[in-house]
A and B are shown apart, each in its own frame.
Chain A
Amino acid sequence: MATVLHDERKSPRGGPDRRAGFARSGMAKARRREAVVAYAFLSPTLAFFAIFLILPLVFAFVLAFSNWGGFDLTQIEFVGLDNFAEILNPASSFVAPILVNTLLFAFGSVVLTFVASIVLANAINRLRFQGLWRTLYFLPIVTTVTAVGNIWKYLYEPSGGLINGLLNALGMPSVRFLADPDTALPSVVVVQAWASLGVAILILTAGLKNIPETYYEAAALDGAGVLRTFWNITLPLLRPALLFVLITQVIAGLQSFALIIVMTGGGPGNATNVAGFEMYQQAFNYGLWGIASAMALVLFLIIFAITLLQLWLFRQRGEETS
């Protein structure tokens, strides 16, 4: 393109005005051509987004207000807000226990991951062979959820599981981790937190590396202790990384259901049932796509509201996050 413009400006025909006019129209043409080429190159990506992102989103939105049993697109029947009335009805299990479980699952695992990753990232930052430690903590991320879930299921087994074996060796009775409705959800939360620790540690250690050493030197000169330095220097300066970890982990926790399928199937009863799993059941097992889409829309609004709240809270503390 640049070659063409150069040639036209150097054209020997016509005076300066004509030359300027030619140049302008030439530039406009060139821009149009550039735009055409740009869109042509972008079109596969745009088509991809349209087919795999926009279209399903619009389809799910339409289905949330419809009754559809799957199979035949001509049988979609508009039902207004009926699906929402059904799932948000107090008698429905969607609000309680399913949404309550979803929030407990997400926040429980986030709190555990958050605290553990801050402690571990700080510890790793002071150790030798940091790469090795980060890799070790990152390993669960590259392991499939099915393997993680099944291994933890064996660990939790009431008879013969490693954890209960240890408890028995210490003279304590076995705990029915996944079979007891009171302990089932916390048991899965621990696994989710363990499995997501690696990413959080990776981001936080990178954040720690970005804090200039001079702040710590100044704090030391002023006589600040370890805890005070951590509270007044490390935590505030780590805030962008913390916010990123918090938001992504909360969203992942609210959407997560693979671990639930593998470890408990939502049971016993509805003790570990979460929104993602219930949606999957409603759509693919019960053929109730309208109900499943309405649930997805409600979950989307919850995730959206929580994310906005998190951003607002962090900005209130006077920290730019971008």
Chain B
Amino acid sequence: MRWGTAGRAAALAMAAALALAGCSTGGSETDSGKVTLTVLTHYGNDPLKSGLQKMVDEWNKNHPSIQVKTQAVTYEDLLQTVTVRQTGGKAPDIIQAYSLWGGQLERAQVLAEPPEDIQQDIKTNFSTAAVGAVTVDDKILGYPTEVQTYALYYNKKLLAEAGVTEPPKTWDELATVAAKVTKRDAKGNIKVAGFGLTSGWDSAVVHPFLCLLQAAGGQFLSDDGTQAAFNSPAGKAALEFEKSLIDAKSADPAINVLRAFPSEKVAMTINAGWWIGSLKTAMKDKYENVGVAPVPGPDVGDRGSLAYGFFMGVNNKSQHKDEAWQFLEWMNAEQGPDGATRMGSFQYSVGTIPGRPADSEALADDNTDPNYQPFIDALEYAMPEPNGRNGQKIKTTLQKSIEDVWTGTRSVDDALADAAEQTNAMLSSG
């Protein structure tokens, strides 16, 4: 009996101890000198998942002492997973992150400083947009793995049906074309929207506005990044232009452009280069109707775009920082068999612009789709999305102000002044 009591108590205590121990182990494993690195990404679906795995398999085959393991979560869960695992002592050695999160990661000292030669390589050999996307307070956070820029997507067939053969080159032209192309039913419901604006998703609301802002000669933040600069004549003109399209019933933010454009119910919209791949999959043969042009501004020759990116950095808590940088350098800097870096070839194969212009040049012959060109051209002039402290909160604040203007809840002046005031407070509170 006694043995039974004590035995059960001991067994329970042991089980509890084991459970607790299970909660607290972490870090990279070493086994007879072999190092295992973990890479946390949002590449959970093909072709991204298999593309990354192919590179990792090649590395693992040639580097038996430094093995790499990939772990993928959805994009929506990526920042949350990094937060939880970092706090819980299960931090991955290499983290892939959205450039906008850079300020947050930098403030919490999540990422290790890249070695000097890698920093130099990034500063010298990557596009301005790519470097801007991975720089916070003059610090480089990691290797830019992909860069996205924005341009104007249009449906040639819908424009041609309204007698339009060329994409618009000014805002006035865009408004005229949008009005011509828009079709409504007897009850006034939009059947085909001339221009696509979508509410409810921060990037879909804020990024097109920032493209129009730049096209009108404005900028998001002041040059030193300490003050909001969008509450300017250019910012007001850009937002008033969007509102005028809604008032003219050529655009309706209730329409989900991501669904409606591929089903040819929206004629024009502003989106990033990654969308080409999705459109090809969704539209199949009808993709031939899609054209891409620079985002126009108030006058002929004005153009605007926004650049953001993803990067891979090394965790400050990693036990194997040197090995992690070695792997990242091999993937992002060393030339592969086709003359481009492995990461460049991989990104190019899935329709994304690599951050290193030399990669685009080496692979140019592989690309026959002219729709990529406006996105590549935009690398030269696109405004990098500000990725300083409170970047995500500033973006959401601006999204809400823009939506308030779209729905007529607030005037352009009020909404931008309020967003600018809040942005300034957030920039100074970081």
Contact = CB atoms under 8 A, between A and B. Distances in A.
B407 A33 contact: no
A249 interface: no
Contact of A70 (B86, B396, B399): B86
Given A69-B108, A70-B83, A158 B201 contact: no
Interface stretch (A175-183, A219-227, A296-304): A175-183
Contacts of A69: 104, 107-108
Most chain A CB inside 10 Å of its own CB: which residue of B1, B19, B82, B393: B393
A17 interface: no
Interface in A109-161: 157-160
A267 interface: yes
Contacts of A286: 104, 390, 392-393, 396
A185 to B, nearest CB: 13
Given A43-B12, A164-B189, A268-B403, 8 more contacts: A70-B87, A70-B104, A70-B108, A71-B108, A159-B185, A179-B252, A267-B199, A269-B401
B127 to A, nearest CB: 28
Contact of B8 (A37, A178, A179, A287): A37
Nearest to B80: A284
Interface in A82-117: none
B406 interface: yes
A174 interface: yes
Contacts of B109: 71-72, 75
Given A70-B87, A180-B407, A40 B104 contact: no
A284 B83 contact: yes
20 contacts: A47-B19, A47-B20, A69-B107, A71-B82, A158-B189, A158-B190, A158-B252, A158-B254, A159-B191, A159-B255, A179-B254, A181-B404, A265-B200, A267-B200, A268-B403, A269-B400, A269-B401, A269-B407, A286-B393, A287-B107
B12 A40 contact: yes
Contacts of A204: none
Contacts of A33: 5
A268 B16 contact: no
A270 B77 CA distance: 23
A75 B316 CA distance: 14
Nearest to B104: A287
Contact of B189 (A51, A70, A71, A159): A159
B108 A267 contact: no
B160 interface: no
Interface in B61-114: 79-80, 82-83, 86-87, 104-105, 107-110
B337 interface: no
Interface residues of A, number: 42
Nearest to B400: A269
Q: From DSSP, what is the main secondary structure of chain A's interface residues?
A: loop
- Residue among B20, B86, B109, B407 with the highest chain A CB neighbour number at 10 A: B407
B87 A73 contact: yes
A270 B200 CA distance: 10
Interface string A158-191: 1110001000100001101011110000000000
Given A269-B409, A285-B79, A174 B87 contact: no
The 5 A-B residue pairs whose C-beta atoms are closest, nearest first, are A179-B254, A71-B108, A40-B9, A159-B189, A269-B404
Contact count band on B: 35 or more
A33 B6 CA distance: 9
Nearest to A73: B87
B13 interface: yes
B301 interface: no
Nearest to A1: B1
A193 interface: no
Contact of A47 (B16, B190, B201, B393): B16
Contacts of A270: 400
Interface of B: 1, 5, 8-9, 12-13, 15-16, 19-20, 23, 79-80, 82-83, 86-87, 104-105, 107-110, 185, 187-191, 199-201, 252-255, 390, 392-393, 396, 399-401, 403-404, 406-407, 409-410
Interface in A248-279: 264-265, 267-271
Contacts of A58: none
B16 A44 contact: yes
Contacts of A245: none
Contacts of B187: 168, 173-174
Tell which of B9, B201, B255 has the most Cβ of chain A within 10 Å.
Answer: B9
A36 interface: yes
A285 B86 CA distance: 15
A163 to B, nearest CB: 13
A302 B19 CA distance: 36
Contact of B190 (A40, A71, A72, A159): A159
B79 A267 contact: no
B189 A268 contact: no
Contacts of A285: 79, 392-393, 396
B12 A41 contact: yes
B303 to A, nearest CB: 29
Contacts of A271: 407, 409
A164 B9 CA distance: 65
A69 B86 CA distance: 12
Contacts of B20: 47
Contacts of A180: 407
Contacts of B12: 40-41, 43-44
Contacts of A11: none
A70 B81 CA distance: 11
B403 A37 contact: no
Contacts of A218: none
Chain B CB within 10 Å — which of A33, A75, A284, A285 has the most?
Answer: A285
A75 B108 CA distance: 8
B9 A72 contact: no
A122 B346 CA distance: 64
A158 B16 CA distance: 56
B9 A36 contact: yes
Contact of A71 (B13, B86, B406): B86
